[in-house]
Chains A and B, each alone.
Chain A
């Protein structure tokens, strides 16, 4: 039903757009073209959370995008790049409102965003229908790239992401816990955020599938500082591993207090990239030693250079963990624009469908966050982070004293049945 609907809309769109396109003579794209005049800038939109309690995630991504633009001296194809940032908040309605606005702006070639998965669900129907595309640096909900409605999927054509699907990261946490830590029992905690809830569920399911026992699945609330109650409850069920893919600062509270909870002194702690920031270890203090983190490979000279640029441009360190994904997303978009754009009488014609196709065809793209290849096969479409670029890190004394990032101790290539994953 839904698919038929999609097909119908895209067909009618095709029809609607092809008429003026034919008349125009330049643009042969099924979804129409962005026309950039000779002295017009190339406009990139960004739908990010820049206000409210979670605004630092958006600022983090925005910094990544700005650095990517700055790295090209703000120029693309001899034209200035203009970044238009809209505040999509962290809600479906916020995403929808900003998507309407972006869709009305014909000069936008593509969008980076949204910060939150919920906002993307509000935004994508509109963006897709407008023939635009959006690459998200931080949406991880499996729904967004799943085109099976009966399974709860909400995929729309034109959606891509450089953030890794929860399915990869959650499964990796489970594999690591069983294969390396030798865990038989696990407890999971989420914080009511769709992202953390999704990860916790995937981890628990994979863990159970692999023969482990899930002894506790619980949650805290955002803003909680006292985690004693839940940790005591967990201690009572005695897990080998506590998996809490929650965001900072809640993850920091849990990590610090877990060590002081009788019964959890020896439990292994695993957190996710929601906590992967340079301040995590220092903020947690001595209790952070031995904590494992699952996060993308954001290491190496390029990344060091990125961090230096960040400090130079904005001061300090990035506030959260999605800046590198945003940097990659912006670069993928700009590369695709370079590839697709055609010059006509001094104007640039950028085909919207061609742009989508170019990004869907991205393969072995060497980004800051590892090698990216965009999936385009049902049921999963638009996932550019393949999960192979994820790794497990272990925090040591050095990180508590300010060194960053920690050493990689494991990645999926070391997994025993990596081959199953396909």
Chain B
């Protein structure tokens, strides 16, 4: 007979409330209701419901793992899972009650009571720490007053408004319907269902963790892949559309929704695959490791070859829509590779990269447009302008670099941010309107031609971007091992030492900024030709932030990292349209979580890894 230790139960309590808070938050900001509009499996479960159940499931799974590590018995883990599930539903249930007309007075009463309870709790804590009575009393008074102002303020707001929805716009019918599983009218039935479903999901999570390794992995694979395919239904449908006939597609998907039969089949197949992998996967890995070097190389080369073939064939495999996404991703990869020269190699934090993008786009627009703003109407072709855009962006990079050569760190970041903003405002201005169209932009930019073929489809543009990325990749790898590359690295490590070593830091930094700008110009020019019009509002600080973030998220100074970063930050929001309302929210959360848990990025570069690890280079770090 064992009981949960108080530490373990506190852990369960905390995790449960955390997941409950998450579900409450997701509901209040409208995420659950919005996700409910996307069905993961037709007529069976929506993305909103998946979210509602995934939170207790995952939390319990994690908690069960911790509990068994702490030597608790399996049934304790089950109990913990159940409790976590119930706790997850709790905050939502409270809000449901507050929201119903019947129990609304409960809301006002709790808001009025809150300051006293919270203050007493804090005072009790202060007392427990052994503080004097006077101090405890002071704590109570301050806390009661401060919390009181906020709580009474909100109570007043809600009372005058008469309901929650006047303030919290997403606490509406849709939300109530989802969390009560369509029992909006019978509130208590709905609450019961929510509690049961949530506790059930919690229990299931714990059960899953307790299962023996092989069936667990099989189930997790099955569940995970089915849900993923269901959630990304549109993307999967678009890929399948290119490769299977229409009737088969209709068997699998109802529009973008996975049909039940297909989902069940998918679940069984992927569970089976998971089962086999769990059984034989390790052995295959071991065998691969046991191979001699030359054969391993051969297998690796084969893999690389396959990858190259995949890159070449990609537009045919994924179709037009996804090719369009791929082109956008490619443009950002191009910019990422460029900015990486400044940030990753030379350590220059440039927040105004959009400048180069804008220069490239406007140069192409002005030179090739056949509309009233085109300077040469038809004289210049896309291919002639690309090198011009490249040189123009390099020139711009050079010009803007000169005044900031003496700056370091944050100051450099701020100054370049300022440049970016200035360029954006100037592009928009009436002042430059006769030249670049002001707010109305430049229209009628022709598409590139290749041997009399108009390259207007994303499938065709894809290859232009691919070639540009490969060339840039090649150059950047060569740069990395060049004299300039070593100079940059020296500057990145320590500018003073670099100067002392006789490096002309001004020249090296200038070179870094100039080269870094080049790909921005090319990306801008391709972008302008792709879209066919150039508007100033395409060139905002968000471009700079996007490029910077994808480098950081992928892994600074890591070329594969940049590709992964671009796919995650640029591609994912394009692929999940239900996320569009929340794309920036999740983007923000992703940046925070990445920085806390994996600051070196998804695919860290071996070169700089030691730099990003905490405490190794105190000189560069904040807060010390």
Contact = CB atoms under 8 A, between A and B. Distances in A.
Interface stretch (A68-76, A147-155, A339-347, A379-387): A147-155
Given A100-B321, A100-B458, A219 B430 contact: yes
Nearest to A90: B537
Interface string A101-123: 10110010000000000100110
A221 to B, nearest CB: 7
Contacts of A219: 429-430
A233 to B, nearest CB: 14
A91 B443 CA distance: 13
Given A152-B372, A315-B172, A198 B440 contact: yes
A190 interface: yes
Contacts of B166: 315
A104 B255 contact: no
B532 A121 contact: yes
Interface residues of A, number: 46
Nearest to A125: B532
Interface string B431-454: 000000011110110000000000
Given A50-B581, A97-B574, A107-B255, A190 B444 contact: no
A21 to B, nearest CB: 16
Centre residue among A141, A150, A196, A217 by max chain B CB count within 10 A: A150
Nearest to B542: A52
B584 A93 contact: no
Nearest to B165: A315
Contact of A154 (B238, B438, B444): B444
Task: Provide the main secondary structure of the chain B interface.
Answer: helix
A51 interface: yes
A140 to B, nearest CB: 12
A221 B540 CA distance: 14
Interface centre among A92, A150, A219 (most CB of B within 10 A): A92
Q: Which of A50, A82, A101 has its CB near the most chain B CB atoms (within 10 A)? A: A101
Contacts of A2: 370, 444
Interface string B565-585: 000000000100100110110
Contact of B321 (A82, A93, A104): A104
Contacts of B584: 51-52
Given A194-B441, A197-B439, A92 B321 contact: no
Contacts of A90: 537
Given A100-B458, A193-B439, A92 B531 contact: yes
Contacts of A294: none
Contact of B538 (A41, A93, A194): A93
B42 interface: no
A89 to B, nearest CB: 9
Contacts of B531: 92-93, 96, 122
Given A96-B324, A194-B440, A121 B533 contact: yes
A229 interface: no
A86 B439 contact: no
Interface in A219-263: 219, 221
Contacts of A100: 320-321, 324, 458
B479 interface: no
Contacts of B440: 141, 143, 194, 197-198
A288 B238 CA distance: 52
A92 B532 contact: yes
A97 B428 CA distance: 23
Interface in B556-611: 574, 577, 580-581, 583-584
A141 B440 CA distance: 9
A313 to B, nearest CB: 9
A82 B439 contact: no
A51 B458 contact: no
A29 interface: no
Interface in A179-228: 190, 192-194, 196-198, 217-219, 221
Given A86-B577, A104-B241, A122-B532, A93 B527 contact: yes
A104 B580 contact: no
Q: Which of B430, B456, B583 neighbours the largest number of chain A CB atoms within 10 Å of its CB?
A: B430
B172 A104 contact: no
Given A2-B370, A96-B324, A190 B439 contact: yes
A149 B371 contact: yes
A328 interface: no
Contacts of B428: 192, 221
A193 B440 CA distance: 8
A237 to B, nearest CB: 16
A43 interface: yes
Interface centre among B166, B319, B373, B581 (most CB of A within 10 A): B581
Contacts of B456: 125
Contact of A51 (B438, B537, B583): B583
A192 B439 contact: yes
Contacts of B320: 100, 103-104
B533 A122 contact: yes
Nearest to A59: B581
Interface in A121-154: 121-122, 125, 141, 143, 149-152, 154
Interface in B390-429: 425, 428-429
Contact of A97 (B328, B443, B533, B583): B328
Nearest to B34: A50
A87 interface: yes
Interface string B509-545: 0000000000000000001001111111110000000
Interface string A346-357: 000000000000
A217 B444 CA distance: 27
B169 A121 contact: no
A91 B534 CA distance: 9
Given A82-B255, A193-B439, 6 more contacts: A50-B581, A100-B324, A103-B320, A103-B321, A197-B440, A219-B430
Interface of B: 165-166, 169, 172, 238, 241, 255, 319-321, 324-325, 328, 370-373, 425, 428-430, 438-441, 443-444, 456, 458, 527, 530-538, 574, 577, 580-581, 583-584
7 contacts: A1-B370, A51-B584, A55-B581, A97-B325, A104-B319, A190-B439, A197-B438
